[in-house]
Amino acid sequence: MPTDPCLATLVRRDWLDAGPLGHLIDPYIVALRGQRYGERTIRGYVGCLAHFCHWMACDAIAWSAPEAVSLVERFLRDHLPTCVCPVPCYASVASSGAALRHLLKLLPASQPAVLTDPVTVELERFGQYLSSTCGLAPVTCDRRLHIVGCFLVRAFGSRAATVSQIASVQLDEFFAELSTHLQPASLRTACNSLRSYFRYRALLGDSTAGLAAALPRVADWQRTTLPKVLSDAELEAFLATFDLTDPVGLRDYAIARCLLDLGLRGQEVTYLTLESLDWRQATLTISGTKSKRVQQLPLPAVTGEAIARYLREGRPTQSQNRALFVRHRAPFDRPLGVPAIRNAMNRAFVRCGLRDRFCNTHVLRRTAATRLHRAGASIKEIADLLRHQSLDTARVYARVDLVGLRAVAMPWPGCTS
């Protein structure tokens, strides 16, 4: 058992001594210190590991590295909400989840399983098509693979998937079952997933035009309402909430300017590096887009000034990471993730009293598009800036410009005013 000083005052060190994780504690502490976590935080995380060991001992659960993920999920999901372990113990779900995630990073990567099931093999190939050819995000790929996998298992079981054997009645039965528990938006996602799969099979030579036509059309009620955007007054109040005397405030303000002035997505902001900026040409190169294309955008003066001030006055000077926006708390020297960006914008909405109306970062992207259209930009120009592959996606912003729509509206017959 390691004799690190941070363990000297650990409340439940005996649980660690009797547990199966003793050989991992030393490298675990070293890894956390390498990420500049505080000693108090490290001691708390080690206490969470002790609680995890006690749970395995009480339930006679054998530690197995290949099954570590499932064990962690059982501990967090089943044990902690109903924990009756002797006090004191570290029973916080948030702290335990963070501590165990660090533990999983220390385990050797398991060998990938050999794919033998025909449906699994088909989904693996389809997933490669979605990722490499279509350039879809991992979350979108997983969602489509799940829907297509459910349909193929229902249609073929463990047999090889043969598209020519699929009948339209099977699609009707599948969507009739989905409609009993899915909302219209989720049904549209299911339709798009299967349509994408039929398009993939068509590239391989299968005739899928009839199957694609047999997919149901689900009403899109979202287009009956206008997208929520910030008014000029709300936008001014939002930007005024950032503390420009604080390094974190400077960083978050620069991020807000990127979202508002360039219409970037949160994930695109995380991919920005110091090399993305060309100060002489006043351009910003972005990668990590949904289409996986590298694109160059003009850098507005106000955006460049916000970024330059953050680099001069806010960004940690000791950081060796080349990411533009980095963490200002442990783990240090790492890029800022999407959840952190989302939380930073949500805190700004709270400070300006708009949290009940707005959340997340996408409202800033919609606001950027709406302001461009009101300034006279065409739908094509907006679609190019937002990197939309279809003009239909950007046409929604034409409906937001009520002043412009009133100017072109025909007078009502008989109305003199």
Identify residue 341 by its one-letter amino acid code: I
In a domain, 416, yes or no: no
Same domain, 350 and 258: yes
- Model confidence at 362: pLDDT above 70: yes
Distance CA 300, CA 387 (A): 17
**Domain final position from 79, 106, 133:** 106
Confidence (pTM): 0.68
Give me the number of domains the chain comprises: 3
Q: Give the long-range contacts of residues 281-289, CB within 8 A, separation 24 or more.
A: 289/265, 289/387
Same domain, 215 and 274: no
Distance CA 100, CA 163 (A): 43
**Domain final position from 106, 133, 160:** 106
pLDDT attached to residue 60: 86
Same domain, 87 and 166: no
What value does the mean pLDDT take over residues 326-343? 90
pLDDT attached to residue 222: 61
Residues forming the active site? 265, 290, 362, 365, 388, 397
In a domain, 411, yes or no: no
What value does the mean pLDDT take over residues 312-327? 93
pLDDT range class, residue 290, cuts 50, 70, 90? low
- pLDDT single digits (tens) 167-213: 999 999 999 999 888 888 889 999 999 999 999 999 999 999 999 99
In a domain, 111, yes or no: no
Counting every residue written for the chain, the total comes to: 417
Same domain, 393 and 309: yes
The CATH number of the domain holding residue 195 is: 1.10.150
What percentage of the chain reaches a pLDDT higher than 90? 35
Same domain, 102 and 192: no
Same domain, 209 and 346: no
- pLDDT single digits (tens) 111-165: 444 445 788 888 889 988 988 888 777 778 888 988 998 899 889 887 888 989 9
In a domain, 266, yes or no: yes
Same domain, 313 and 338: yes
Distance CA 33, CA 330 (A): 10
**Domain final position from 171, 191, 224:** 224
Residue scoring higher pLDDT (82 or 337): 337
In a domain, 20, yes or no: yes
The CATH number of the domain holding residue 294 is: 1.10.443.10
Same domain, 80 and 190: no
pLDDT range class, residue 13, cuts 50, 70, 90? confident
pLDDT attached to residue 262: 92
Same domain, 280 and 373: yes
pLDDT range class, residue 259, cuts 50, 70, 90? very high
pLDDT range class, residue 8, cuts 50, 70, 90? low
Q: Does residue 370 contact residue 229 with C-beta atoms inside 8 Å? A: yes
Burial class (CB in 10 A: 0-12, 13-18, 19+), 244: middle
Helix axes 301-309, 247-261, angle to 10 degrees: 160
CA angle 362, 365, 369 (to 5 degrees): 140
Domain that holds residue 240: 232-404
pLDDT attached to residue 225: 66
**Sequence-ordered list of residues with C-beta below 8 angstroms from that of 402, at least 6 positions apart, any chain:** none
Same domain, 218 and 148: yes
pLDDT range class, residue 1, cuts 50, 70, 90? very low
- pLDDT single digits (tens) 207-236: 999 999 999 988 766 666 667 889 999 999
In a domain, 24, yes or no: yes
Same domain, 212 and 186: yes
Same domain, 79 and 205: no
Q: Which of 78-87, 171-180, 226-235, 335-344 has the lowest mean pLDDT?
A: 78-87
CA angle 60, 62, 68 (to 5 degrees): 125
Residue scoring higher pLDDT (185 or 243): 243
- Model confidence at 327: pLDDT above 90: yes
- Model confidence at 343: pLDDT above 50: yes
Distance CA 103, CA 4 (A): 17
In a domain, 409, yes or no: no
Nearest to 55 by CA among 85, 10, 28: 85
pLDDT attached to residue 416: 56
In a domain, 269, yes or no: yes
Count CB-CB contacts under 10 A for residue 145. Answer: 17
